[in-house]
Structure 1
Amino acid sequence: MLFNSVSFAVFLPIVFVLYWFFTNRNLKLQNGLLLVSSYFFYACWDWRFMFLLLFSTLLDYFTGLKMQDSQNQKHRKIWFWLSIIINLGFLGVFKYYNFFAESFAESVSHFGWQVSPLMLSVILPVGISFYTFHGLSYVIDIYKNRIKAERNFVDYAVFVSFFPLLVAGPIERATHLLPHIKKQRTFDYAKAADGLRQILWGLFKKIVIADNCAEYANYIFNNSADMNGSTLVLGALFFTFQIYGDFSGYSDIALGTARLFGIELLRNFAFPYFSRDIAEFWRRWHISLSSWFKDYLYIPLGGSKGGNWMRIRNTFIIFLVSGFWHGANWTFIVWGLLHALFILPSIIMKTNRNNLEIVAHGRIFPTLKEFLQIFITFSLAVFAWIFFRAENIEHAISYINGIFSPSIFSYPKFEGMENAWTKLVLILLFLLIEWQGRENQYALEGMKRISSKSARWFSYIIILLIIYFYGNFGETVEFIYFQF
């Protein structure tokens, strides 16, 4: 079930009405309804994988209880590693087995050995990386004595499978989400209205920006050998806004939907394309994943305590693992490596914590220096996105070679270029709205402070009309991060 589908537009109001009007504010009934709704939501993808989700949930639930109740450190460690190995084992089989098998066969072929590995014809369970990381953080936090094990199975199962975040995050922590799930919730009109506002902005990002950009990005990347340099630059830009509109749009809808049920999720995006350096970019892009790797990998590896060498080593490990997390393809690993190289100067010079506040805070315009910093950081991100989008390394290199050719100075030309100008205007409008709202949690949040009700509703109607007239409704397009 897609957030931008008719089925979700029917599903959400039904669950909302049942949740607030038929549970009599009973917390157990509310959480029970959320659990049933979440499993139904997931079963709409493929009901068979619902049992994998249930197994993962039961595994970590009982592992947590065993570790909590055990007085023997050795036993605690056994249960801990059992959960880690099984969770990563499932993730490895479904997501990475074919990649490793193909890479091994290709490697030994250089020595004259021909190997035909057994390949698995399995569908990647949607959201497996996300709910696996939910469970891993829960188990690790119990093992490190940061939290107590949750004894109410329904509450824990809702933490793992809450439908707004189930298939593409944000990646939640038990320390943050479980207290919301266990707390008595009453309907808050202001919070619900704010949720709807964020859902509206998320739909704009997905349907107007991401899906329109996808049409042109796919065409240009799929036919890159026939395109001139300037068209290839345009294709990279279209993908840059596609993936941001798509993923941050999903996160906005997820956060807004959760708020309808009185639950606050972790923020996942904070206007990353306005960053002044790559370190700031990663504090603002996919925040829940970046912070997860920081807390559960970077800091355990030693963090920044061992001097420059350790900081550099740990940074490269984090970015390589992050790239690999995104998919079983060398292009993702190169994408992660590029970002590690981009961030390296700030690590060495210890300037990676220079830009903590949003750019031009309290001002309308950035300074010339800030503008140039944003432009350089954005350009580096666009360059790295080429590897993220390319089919393979050879495709990415060919694409980049095409950009850095004399044809980059020619006029962009491809089928549909005339209509593309309209989409570029929409992207510009989108950037202006994001810039205006950059000091808020999301771009439209400031609208709630407009005193005139008619002015607010006029703005909402304009956005809805833009979605209606300029949204890509040709086919319901899945969110990019469902494949991760």
Structure 2
Amino acid sequence: MQFNSATFAVFMLIVLVLFWFFLNHPKRLNARNSFILCVSYLFYGWWDWRFLSLIVISSGVDFAVGLKLGEKEKDRRQRKIWLGLSLLTNLGMLGAFKYFNFFLESADVALQLFGLNAFDLRLQWILPVGISFYTFQTLSYTIDIYRGQLKPVSNPISFFAFVAFFPQLVAGPIERAKLLLPQFENHHKFNEKEVKSGLLLVLWGLFKKIVIADRLALYVNEAYMLPGADISGPIAIAAVVFFTLQLYVDFSAYSEIAIGLARMLGFKLSTNFVRPLLANGFADLWARWHISLTTWFRDYIMLPLRKLPNGKRRRALNVMIVFFITGLWHGASWTFVLWGLVNGGFLLLFEPFVIRPLNQLPNPISRILRTGFTTIFMYGALVLFRAPDLDAAGAMYAGLFNWSGSAMDTNHHLLFTDSEWIFSWFLVIGLLSFEAWQEYRGKLVERFYEGVGLKRWLVAYVLVMVTVLLGSYGVYVLDKQFIYFQF
């Protein structure tokens, strides 16, 4: 069930009516949470009900492990065993469904290099939607209890609802138990302003997804299907720029819709993006991009690595390990792994040798140069993220430098008409200008969904009309999947 579908609109309307009119009472917390759990399972099962068993297993194991960790506060050996059970269960399911074939195929290549026989084994199953997200969310619960940073919850309904909460179940934000779980154990008073602001945030997210991200995707998809010889400089530049903005807009739109939906139910989710396209360095970029994931890696992988013997001295190795895992988390492919390693290399080399020297220059020159260099390297690295394989990535990189006469004969008309081409660049320039205004002059979006009065609803009406009109243009249709559903 997609957020950008008529089915979900009906689903959410029914949920809101039942939630606020029949179940939201201080003495009905269990009934309310049971309802949230049921509708969350219905939402997830809409794709494939068979994979509900994975969420139930993960939730059940970690709920039990949490209780055992609470009982064994002074028994370090027992605590390690129980934490190991949680890690083995969750990472085992994630690894089997997402990485088993990838590792076998990689082993096949290595064996063939030495003239050895390859494995004749592949698992024919699809990747469960959201498994990378809810696995990390539930793991943070048991790890925090193990560290003594969190007390286990005694109510299984609250915990199961926390793991399966449908607004952020399949693509985040990846919430920490200490922030979200208490909200399932407290009564939420109806707040008309919060419900309205949540609705407006949902409308804003749908506008970004349907009008901007999916339109740019039309060009990007066609560009990456071209033969390498037909990819000229203009086509490659547009494909690189359009995909970066498509990815950011698509994913940030999902996060904003999720935050808005949760707000309409009285829950607060974490901010996941803070204008990353205006980052002035790679450290700044990763402090702004997919924040719930980057902070997860920081707290549960980087910090433990630093506590190892000589951990601080091995900072470069630790960074590369984290970014290797970051790439692998996004997809079972060497293009994603290489994308992660490239970003780790940029962080280690780009920051000290490019960004810091530029800090010595006066503003705004320093800020413009730092953002400009970050933009070039960030956009370029994302070719690896989008390309289906290394050959396709190489063809796109080669296209950036292909300005020969024969290549230039293959122009953007192969992909877009003049009006579509102009409108797409208009969207790009408009989005970047809007982001810059947000960064330097004020938070327009926050004023929009947190404000009051007729002006706000006029803007909302315009958003809806523009979304409907542009969303129904040509082959452009609703119900397109969000990019991060594949992770």
Q: What is the TM-score when the length of structure 2 is the normalising length?
A: 0.91
Give 1:159-178 correspondences, 5 Å limit.
159-178=162-181
Alpha-carbon deviation of 1:224?
Answer: 4.6
In the alignment, the residues of structure 2 paired with residue 443 and residue 271 of structure 1 have an alpha-carbon distance, to the nearest angstrom, of: 13
Amino acid at match of 1:241: L
Residue 261 (structure 1) shift: 0.8
The verdict on how the C-alpha distance between 1:76 and 1:426 changes in structure 2, with shifts beyond 3 A counting, is same
- Offset of residue 475 of structure 1: 4.8
Give 1:205 shift: 1.3
Match of 2:318 in 1: 314
Residue in 1 aligned with 2:104?
101
Within 5 Å, give how 1:66-465 maps onto structure 2. Answer: 66-70=68-72, 71-225=74-228, 226-302=230-306, 309-345=313-349, 348=352, 367-407=364-404, 410=408, 412-418=412-418, 419-438=420-439, 443-447=444-448, 453-465=453-465
**Please, which runs of 5 or more residues in structure 1 have no aligned partner?**
356-365
One-letter amino acid of the counterpart of residue 455, structure 1: K
Counterpart pick for 1:46 among 42, 45, 48:
48
1:151 aligned counterpart, secondary structure: coil
**Partners of 1:350 and 1:220 in 2: CA distance:** 32
Amino acid at match of 2:112: S
Give the aligned residue type for 2:44: Y
Q: CA deviation at 1:75?
A: 1.6
Which is helix-richer, 1 or 2? Answer: 2
Q: CA 1:389/1:346 → structure 2, altered by over 3 Å: closer, same or farther?
A: closer
Identical columns (%): 40
For 2:188 and 2:443, the matched residues in 1 are separated by: 24
> What displacement does 1:99 show?
0.3
Does structure 2 retain, via aligned residues, the 8 Å contact 1:434–1:443?
no
> Aligned match of 1:27 in 26, 29, 34?
29
Q: CA RMSD in A?
A: 2.4
Task: Output the CA distance in 2 between the equivalents of 1:141 and 1:350.
Answer: 37
| Counterpart amino acid of residue 386 in structure 2 | R
Residue 11 of structure 1 corresponds to which residue in structure 2?
Answer: 11
The size of the alignment, in residue pairs, is 472
Q: How many angstroms apart in 1 are the aligned matches of 2:403 and 2:49?
A: 52
Gaps of 5+ in 2: none
**Structure 1 residues 424, 7: CA separation in 2 closer, same or farther (over 3 Å shift)?**
same
Deviations 1:142-198 (A, max 9, x none): 111111111100111111110001000111111111122212211111211221121
CA distance in 2, matches of 1:305, 1:448: 49
Do the aligned residues in 2 keep the contact of 1:102 with 1:117 (CA within 8 Å)? no
Q: State the shift of 1:123 in Å.
A: 0.9
User: Partners of 2:66 and 2:312 in 1: how far apart?
Assistant: 37
Following TM superposition, by how much is the alpha carbon of 1:348 offset from its aligned partner in structure 2, in angstroms? 4.6
Q: Is the 8 A contact 1:130 1:166 kept in 2?
A: yes
Give the Å deviation of 1:304.
11
Q: What's the CA shift string for 1:116-149, capped at 9, x where partnerless?
A: 4310000111001111111111111111111111
